[in-house]
């Protein structure tokens, strides 16, 4: 199964999860609160990227990747209001230059879940002031780093950020939690995206700017009636379609408002899809809409994270076609410390990407989450997404078998029956049913 010669083979990371010692971030303060992080874990050095990102970039280059998605930590760049840390900007520039020198194209995310503590004190996305602060931060970054970056993500997984922060309570809380705070922040995030988009495009018209939208599959439980299926459709619209629709037409959709956001319409050059799993929905009070028990026979990744459902990736790619934009799979992966499921996961999800490309769907690249184990937000160190395993105490790295598989894929621009036979034999009859055993030579 061959991929185009200009396909982007990438990995992805986020600043707070890999850099270490982001002490000015709201997540660093959140970690100190009892009960916020599973098992009381702390990020600490994380993956030590601030001191030694280059070692993992060497591994990414050896793996054959030609792209990497990373984020910038706003709280490092602007540790106090209107005070920019030139040393931090120089360090980011060194990391980006190191990527370019290794033949790895950067895709830079401006906001990936974490905020400066001072911004939270000022109300962050529930305050009108965030528009000016975010615009100034973006302008500074683009001025200092923009010549090294051709692809930008403004906001990572906005609906995950809103739901986990305002309703679920597993992210650092805002000053106005609850539905009304979420509704207000929804519009402010969109306005920040629009402002960032135009700041980047004014400075670098050829740059590609988009968002990374988490797009799970939402379905009614098997056997559900018409009401259950209708409800699943409503959840899908609320979580997956409302944000994208606003970026297309520039208007806030009910129940988030009815106003038009200036300069928002068509303010994206590509669709970034983060895809992980399928959820079954349920009717109930409050905002607990997800069924936590899986049907019999479902293959679930570590920590009951989610069902492994590769065909869902093809479905969400197809659902993005009406936007008429290039598509990047900006995140795809699973927590699997033993690496028992990941090789088959990679092969089958890339088969869905290949299938989409065969139908001329404009999928331009795939960024696996993640390059190396990192601090997984409220799950701490209990969920391991890395192609490369990490001991956070010693910082020792070990390539998992899936890393070697991904290396073969990236170097050959293909997935093959030999790869399946070597790394995930159970996928051979599924993906290559016509393959016969190798012939026996001689008599």
> Does residue 436 carry a pLDDT above 60?
no
**What is each CA distance from 181 to 33, 178, 288, in whole angstroms?**
22, 5, 18
Give the fold, CATH level 3, of 8-431. TIM Barrel (3.20.20)
What pLDDT is attached to residue 222? 87
Full-model pTM: 0.97
Is the C-alpha dihedral spanning 131, 191, 241, 274 positive or negative?
A: negative
- pLDDT band at residue 286 using 50, 70 and 90 as cut-offs: low
DSSP label of 329: E
Mean of pLDDT values over 147-162: 98
CA 421 to mean position of chain CA atoms: 29
Beta bridge partners of 73: none
Average pLDDT over residues 173-185: 94
Q: What is the pLDDT of residue 83?
A: 97
Q: Please give the mean pLDDT across all residues of the chain.
A: 96
pLDDT digits (tens, 9 = 90+) for 300-352: 999 999 999 999 999 999 999 999 999 999 999 999 999 999 999 999 999 99
- Angle (CA) 162-40-289 rounded to 5° is 35
Six token digits for residue 315: 């479905």
H helices, E strands: number in the chain: 16, 12
Q: Which residues of 95-121 are buried (b: 16+ CB within 10 A; e: fewer)?
A: bbebbeebebbbbbbbbbbbbbbbbbe
Q: What is the CA radius of gyration of the chain?
A: 21
207: confidence class by pLDDT, cuts 50, 70, 90: very high
Domain ranges of the chain: 8-431
Q: What is the mean pLDDT of residues 371-392?
A: 98
- Mean pLDDT for the stretch of residues 382-389: 98
- Supply the pLDDT for residue 186: 98
Model confidence band, residue 82 (pLDDT cutoffs 50, 70, 90)? very high
> What is the DSSP code (8-state) at residue 437?
P
- First-to-last alpha carbon distance for the chain, in angstroms, is 33
Q: Parallel, antiparallel, or unpaired: how do β-strands 105-111 and 151-156 relate? A: parallel
Q: For residue range 68-81, list pLDDT tens digits in order.
A: 999 999 999 999 99
pLDDT above 60 (res 174): yes
Q: Give residue 292's pLDDT.
A: 84
| CB-based contact 102:57 (threshold 8 Å) | yes
Percent of the chain clearing pLDDT 70 (strictly above): 98
Please, are residues 114 and 22 in contact by the beta-carbon 8 Å criterion? yes
- Name the residue among 350, 341, 358, 359 with its Cα closest to residue 426: 341
> Strand, coil or helix: what is 289?
coil
**Span 129-147, average pLDDT:** 98
| Confidence (pLDDT) at 13 | 98
Average pLDDT over residues 114-143: 97
Helices 179-203, 129-145: inter-axial angle, 10-degree rounding: 30
Contact present, 380 and 41 (Cβ < 8 Å): yes
pLDDT at 285: 62
């Amino acid at each position: 199964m061959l991929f185009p010669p200009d396909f982007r083979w990438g990995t992805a990371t986020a600043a707070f999860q890999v850099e270490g010692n982001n002490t000015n971030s709201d997540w660093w303060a959140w970690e100190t609160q009892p009960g916020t992080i599973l098992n009381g874990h702390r990020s600490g050095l994380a993956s030590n990227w601030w001191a030694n990102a280059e070692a993992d970039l060497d591994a990414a280059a050896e793996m054959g990747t030609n792209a990497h998605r990373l984020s910038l930590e706003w709280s490092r760049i602007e540790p106090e209001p209107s005070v920019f840390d030139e040393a931090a900007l120089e360090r980011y520039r060194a990391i980006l230059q190191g990527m370019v020198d290794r033949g790895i194209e950067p895709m830079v995310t401006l906001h990936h879940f974490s905020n400066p503590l001072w911004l939270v004190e000022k109300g962050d996305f529930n305050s009108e002031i965030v528009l000016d602060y975010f615009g100034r931060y973006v302008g500074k970054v683009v001025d200092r780093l923009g010549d090294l970056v051709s692809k930008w993500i403004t906001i990572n997984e906005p609906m995950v950020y809103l739901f986990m922060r305002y309703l679920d309570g597993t992210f650092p809380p805002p000053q106005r939690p609850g539905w009304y705070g979420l509704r207000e922040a929804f519009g402010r995030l969109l306005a920040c995206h629009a402002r960032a988009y135009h700041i980047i495009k004014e400075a670098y018209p050829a740059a590609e700017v988009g968002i990374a939208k988490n797009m799970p599959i939402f379905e009614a439980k098997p056997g559900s009636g018409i009401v259950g299926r209708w409800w699943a459709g409503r959840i899908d619209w609320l979580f997956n379609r409302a944000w994208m629709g606003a970026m297309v037409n520039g208007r806030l959709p009910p129940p988030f408002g009815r106003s038009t956001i200036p300069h928002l319409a068509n303010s994206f050059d590509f669709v970034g899809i983060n895809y992980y799993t399928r959820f079954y929905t349920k009717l109930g009070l409050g905002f607990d809409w997800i069924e936590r028990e899986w049907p019999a026979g479902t293959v679930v990744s570590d920590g009951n994270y989610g069902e492994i459902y590769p065909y869902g990736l093809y479905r969400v790619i197809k659902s993005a076609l009406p936007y008429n934009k290039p598509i990047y799979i900006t995140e795809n992966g699973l927590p699997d410390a033993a690496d028992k499921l990941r090789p088959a996961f990679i092969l089958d999800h890339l088969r869905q990407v290949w299938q989409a490309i065969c139908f001329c769907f404009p999928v331009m690249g795939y960024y696996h989450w993640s390059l190396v184990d990192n601090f997984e937000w409220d799950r701490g160190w209990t969920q391991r997404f890395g192609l490369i395993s990490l001991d956070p105490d010693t910082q020792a790295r070990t390539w998992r078998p899936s890393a070697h598989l991904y290396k073969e894929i990236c170097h050959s621009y293909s997935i093959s029956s030999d790869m399946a036979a070597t790394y995930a034999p159970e996928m051979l009859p599924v993906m290559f049913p016509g393959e016969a055993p190798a012939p026996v030579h001689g008599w």
